[in-house]
Chains A and B, each alone.
Chain A
Amino acid sequence: MESNLIIEKVNEFLVEEFEVEIEEISPEANLKETLDLDSLDYVDLVVAIEATFGVKLVGEDFVGVENFQNFYDLIENKVNS
């Protein structure tokens, strides 16, 4: 799957499920702060990713994921591996 399509799909479910404005999302923006995530909210991310892309993430996958670009890269790697 191409990067642009992944980004589009990710942003779509983030706006829908995390009540964030699309303008707040940028590759450099901090994922946790922008989405106001606490540790349990990662469960919702994992479920949304699984439903959208059919790939399973575990807690360890999020190590090093700071901004949205890291997050897109993580999903792209999983989807295309």
Chain B
Amino acid sequence: MKYALVTGGSRGIGRAVAIKLAKELEYPILVNYQSNDDAANETKTLIEAEGGSCTLLKFNVANQEETHKVLDQWSEANPDATIEVIINNAGITRDGLFMWMKPEDWHDVLNISLNGFYNVTNHLVQKMLTNRYGRIINLVSVSGVKGTAGQTNYSAAKGALVAATKALAQEIAKRKITVNAVAPGFIKTDMTAEMDEKELKRMIPVNRFGEAEEVADLVAFLASKKASYITGEVININGGIYS
């Protein structure tokens, strides 16, 4: 059986993507999450309510040993299964002015967004290469494309992921594996819940925050066979705030 893995899939954009892939592409979903059991179980319930199948995999993508252990255990228990789609979505923000940024705020953000991509994708890509088909989609951010003041750490992590997307895409395209990045702007999630939407939407041409489901629609397209000729791309989904 062929599966799709969504890291950071318990809430927000990750949850919306997990539901969408189950519903529209009919993949059984592996939802990775780090700590929020309630949110992860809710995602599982929502996927199953759509007639999909969901397995929860609890691990911290920043921890290589733990990541490999959980993925290997799952593979051993499911010897005929292959992970055909990887959605690298796990990420955190630790915003603040760079001059006052604590080392842990720098490293935590890079460890999850950037090293998490390495820890998961590097471990799974060999099997994907052997299968000669795959989709890797990295959730980045407008911050990783244009940079955002107060998010030097987050912008660095996502910007690096943009570059990694382009490099890996060229490396493995021959094996029918596409690698793309999706760069959302302001999307209504827990991550933006504290923001003043009324004030911020003034600078968004579309004049509103985006919905997680709108991002999920784009990811689902890139994850489908219809997107076979798109690779190494960074696709903005930001209401026109940056292009």
Contact = CB atoms under 8 A, between A and B. Distances in A.
Interface of A: 38, 40, 43-44, 46-47
Chain B interface residue count: which class?
under 10
Contact of B174 (A40, A44, A46, A47): A40
Contacts of B172: 40
Contacts of A43: 126, 129-130
Interface of B: 126, 129-130, 171-172, 174-175
A38 B174 contact: yes
Contacts of B175: 40
| Contact residues of A: prevailing secondary structure | helix
Contacts of A38: 174
Nearest to B128: A43
Given A38-B174, A43-B129, 11 more contacts: A40-B129, A40-B171, A40-B172, A40-B174, A40-B175, A43-B126, A43-B130, A44-B130, A46-B126, A47-B126, A47-B130
A44 B174 CA distance: 14
Contacts of B130: 43-44, 47
13 contacts: A38-B174, A40-B129, A40-B171, A40-B172, A40-B174, A40-B175, A43-B126, A43-B129, A43-B130, A44-B130, A46-B126, A47-B126, A47-B130
